[in-house]
């Protein structure tokens, strides 16, 4: 009898952990793709059109483009639509998560420009979590996940972000390793 209870307890915990990981992956999928798409599909006219604020710094900088913003939102939304086959909430949530990721990244660029950090220069933590913050703020009302899933995303994103950026650098897609 004790063995049966132990097996049930282990299976229950495993199922719970699997659910947390699945929720985290479904939530963050659109954000990861929205954040990566501008690197591949961006370019063209800058979002701020070269304008500067009173501090003399660009609003967002040369790496934030109109095409990149549109590509990020579109690709992330498409990932959300694909994921909606697993969870129908992602039809709308995928768009909101993608929009949040792109806006979070833009907010990070805005902060970096105010601190006089040049486009493309590393700013640890902000570079890895700005898009996550935006996606949680805009996406959570449409796709609610547990706190543990959000913490999981926050913990695993910096090393994943650094590794994928390094991979893009090695492939010649990015000019910097970070």
Mean pLDDT by 10 residues, the chain (178 residues): 58 79 94 96 96 96 97 98 97 98 98 94 93 98 94 94 92 87
**What confidence score (pLDDT) does residue 108 get?**
97
pLDDT of 16: 82
The reported pLDDT for the residue numbered 19 is 85
Instruction: Output DSSP code: residue 176.
Output: S
Output the pLDDT for position 1: 59
What's the CA gap between 173 and 111, in Å, rounded?
25
For the record, the structure tokens of 90 come out as 């992602």
Q: Which pLDDT value is given to residue 135?
A: 98
Q: What is the pLDDT of residue 151?
A: 95
The 10 Å CB-count burial string (b at 16+, else e) for 50-60 is: eeeeeeebbbb
């Amino acid at each position: 009898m004790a063995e049966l209870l132990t097996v049930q307890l282990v299976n229950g915990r495993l199922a719970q952990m699997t659910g947390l990981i699945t929720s985290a992956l479904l939530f963050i999928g659109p954000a990861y793709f929205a954040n990566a798409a501008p690197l591949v599909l961006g370019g063209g006219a800058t979002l701020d059109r070269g304008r500067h604020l009173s501090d003399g710094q660009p609003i967002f900088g040369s790496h934030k483009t109109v095409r990149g913003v549109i590509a990020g939102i579109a690709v992330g939304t498409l990932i959300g639509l694909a994921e909606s086959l697993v969870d129908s909430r992602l039809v709308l949530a995928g768009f909101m998560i993608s929009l949040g990721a792109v806006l979070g990244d833009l907010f990070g660029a805005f902060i970096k420009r105010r601190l006089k950090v040049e486009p493309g220069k590393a700013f640890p933590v902000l570079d890895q979590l700005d898009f996550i913050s935006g996606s949680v703020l805009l996406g959570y009302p449409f796709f609610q996940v547990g706190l543990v899933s959000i913490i999981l995303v926050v913990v695993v994103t910096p090393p994943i972000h650094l590794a994928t950026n390094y991979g893009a650098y090695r492939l010649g897609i990015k000019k910097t390793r970070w």
